[in-house]
């Protein structure tokens, strides 16, 4: 089975200069955990919900919140994204993806074409859903 049959083709993207406030709004309104960072149609990085949590003040939305905490929402995506993420082409196999997950210790794999244009994303969950039930 190839990644083109496993991947989530509907991906949400952000740009490197977007503010973390935009990323937070996206993650607060959806049930997935990764955004692809795209510039000029090419994949430039990946940002996870964990990346966002590490970058934002833990005091946001609490009675202790102050201006410095709110300022963390003004950081830019390029400041916290993972640059040059490990990618695979759509014709790669599920076994190729498993190997990448185990060797690279990543939580998602962007699926890109030869020009680095994002086509989809594969997570562990996608692989498990494709596993034949017996």
What pLDDT score was predicted for residue 121?
97
pTM: 0.89
Segment 27-63, tens digit of pLDDT: 999 988 999 999 999 999 999 999 999 998 888 888 8
Give pLDDT, residue 62.
Answer: 85
In the chain, the percentage of residues whose pLDDT exceeds 90 is 71
Give the chain's domains with CATH numbers: 3-130 (3.10.580.10)
* Confidence tier at 101 by pLDDT (50, 70, 90): very high
Residue 70 has pLDDT above 90, yes or no: no
Q: What confidence tier does 133 reach under pLDDT thresholds 50, 70, 90?
A: low
Residue 71 corresponds to which tokens in the numbers above? Answer: 């300022």
């Amino acid at each position: 089975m190839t990644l083109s049959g496993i991947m989530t083709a509907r991906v949400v993207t952000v740009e490197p200069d977007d503010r973390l406030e935009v990323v937070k709004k996206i993650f607060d309104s959806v049930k997935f955990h990764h955004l692809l960072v795209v510039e000029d149609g090419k994949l430039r990085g990946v940002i996870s919900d964990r990346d966002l949590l590490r970058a934002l003040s833990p005091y946001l939305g609490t009675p202790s919140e102050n201006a410095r905490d709110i300022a963390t929402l003004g950081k830019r995506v390029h400041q916290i994204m993972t640059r040059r993420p490990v990618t695979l082409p759509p014709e790669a196999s599920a076994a190729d993806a498993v190997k990448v997950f185990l060797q690279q210790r990543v939580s998602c794999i962007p699926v890109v074409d030869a020009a680095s244009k994002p086509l989809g994303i594969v997570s562990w969950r996608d692989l498990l859903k494709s596993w034949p039930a017996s």
